[in-house]
Structure 1
């Protein structure tokens, strides 16, 4: 199956920004020193990141054709359009890559849910600005059982109403809330486009990033239903943050090549009066600390630790497998030694 996920066309800076158009692939480098020097520094940071989180550089994708076909069938049952402008099929492709890579350790129905959830909100990320009225009134229509503005939003309503069939209690509620927050963020982005930033509103950028990150869903669905919620509940905030933080680490190379500065690394560089590379190292160090904290919080439950450590390599693979990140240009060998691999080599 030929992947369509590179053909989606909208630039945004979110967890689900994975499926933009290939502008970044065509952009000339903005690196100011020797491209080789900067590329080498970024390569070393990425290698350090992977080693510290104990993940070897991923290889080929798992086979996901059956999951893709099943998700397309399920999407039709919910009423998602599978043709035309709001055709969900290419977004399902992206969602299935996420589910197949990062959630392989979870039940099949959970993978279907993650794939459809990703697809539906990714589509809104790309096309939502063409249906701002529908996004702004989504919750009102949903709560009053009124028809949404377009069939795709009606289908999303049906899917979200079915969320309890996929998720355990609380995780379902968190996933629903994350989805609604995401829709609100689309409306907020439009309403605030001419807003002048207030110097005292220091938490606003992080707040927006939380709203449109979907991290609460991606964190909660890591854990199979047989693991008690209390075993991982306290780690969910950190895992939600790590979803975005790891994306920042693995996105930096292609963003630096494309000349993007309105991102976490760029903002940190400006705030600290430091170079992008130095800011990138700090962002990476923060992500590594998040990982260590998560493992510590989960340490009382071997099953929860195992689920998290099964998810993390797949989440990394989701990024390394996509051409848009250009990570293959860093020439990191598949299986580049993780901490545990290096320890075994020394024995």
Structure 2
């Protein structure tokens, strides 16, 4: 484990340079009540304390990062997030169900688990809420992510070769669920086609996947199969040095986003909402434990 003091310093440096200004997102009581009713129907094979964390984390994410969307969109996003958090946990108990999710979805078959069935149903609703391109990306990205979750479980003992420097980002772009969460920003009622923001998408995804504000809690838990550690192994350097490099990369990407949106005030405002909302979520999410670094949302 790298020095936690150094890791704290890197994260503080990032937040300072990101010019975080809390949007002050409000708690969506209706959303939380509705999602709690859904989760009450979940199987009993998961610890109630974990369900409570899933409920809070999913709602905070929808309330902050996607607060500009309609209540229908926010509920979809919160439930989708809860389902994927469940799938990630399910791999410890029923890895076969995770492995076969994509195949069953493609064949239109019933999933062996009600939460997996709910996730499959959400994917079939995506075109009602997002553009054709956005919904396609949400569906494809979700299938990619569930497959990557399976790979992460089965490859935990994988030794990263020093020359495999592209592999950590390859796995991160799939397991990180980047495309769905980027396209959630752009409701179909905002603009009917993605042409005006198409060139921004890779930068938004790079910024989101590179921010890595979950790394602090992962380091506290002793996790070493995350992007930072995989990249450190491939590059033969320390996790702290990788984290510092990521800070530079995402800050540079944020600057690029400001340039790319400068001629479109509506798009610039939407990017700023997403940028600040994502940071607010990271600070509010109890599981990230960033309050221990002296930061409050």
TM-score where L is the length of structure 1: 0.73
4+ residue runs over 6 A deviation: none
In structure 2, what is the equivalent of residue 300 of structure 1? Answer: 263
> 1:223, 1:304 within 8 Å by CA — same for their partners in 2?
no
Give 2:197's match in structure 1, choosing from 223, 228, 232: 232
Give the alignment of 1:164-313 within 5 angstroms: 164-193=127-156, 197=160, 200-224=163-187, 225-227=189-191, 228-246=193-211, 248=212, 250-269=213-232, 276-313=239-276
Comparing 124-133 with 274-283, greater Cα deviation is found at 274-283
> 1:132, 1:187 within 8 Å by CA — same for their partners in 2?
yes
Shift of the 135–323 alpha-carbon distance from structure 1 to 2, 3 Å rule, reads: closer
Q: Helix, strand or coil: the match of 2:251?
A: helix
**1:170 shift after superposition:** 0.9
In structure 2, what is the equivalent of residue 100 of structure 1? Answer: 63
**1:138 shift after superposition:** 2.0
**1:64 shift after superposition:** 2.2
Q: Helix, strand or coil: the match of 1:202?
A: coil
Give 2:77's match in structure 1, choosing from 111, 114, 128: 114
Q: Which stretches in structure 2 are left out of the alignment for 5+ residues?
A: none
Number of aligned residues: 292
Comparing 186-195 with 323-332, greater Cα deviation is found at 186-195
**1:261 shift after superposition:** 4.6
Q: Helix, strand or coil: the match of 1:110?
A: helix
Aligned Cα root-mean-square deviation (Å): 3.0
Give 2:30's match in structure 1, choosing from 66, 78, 82: 66
**1:275 shift after superposition:** 5.2
Shift of the 52–149 alpha-carbon distance from structure 1 to 2, 3 Å rule, reads: same
Larger-gyration structure (1/2): 1
Q: Distance in 2 between matches of 1:181 and 1:326?
A: 28
> 2:98, 2:146 within 8 Å by CA — same for their partners in 1?
yes
Q: Which stretches in structure 1 are left out of the alignment for 5+ residues?
A: 1-29, 336-347
Q: Deviations over 1:313-337 (max 9, x none)?
A: 11111111133333223224x58xx
TM-score where L is the length of structure 2: 0.84
Q: Distance in 2 between matches of 1:294 and 1:167?
A: 22
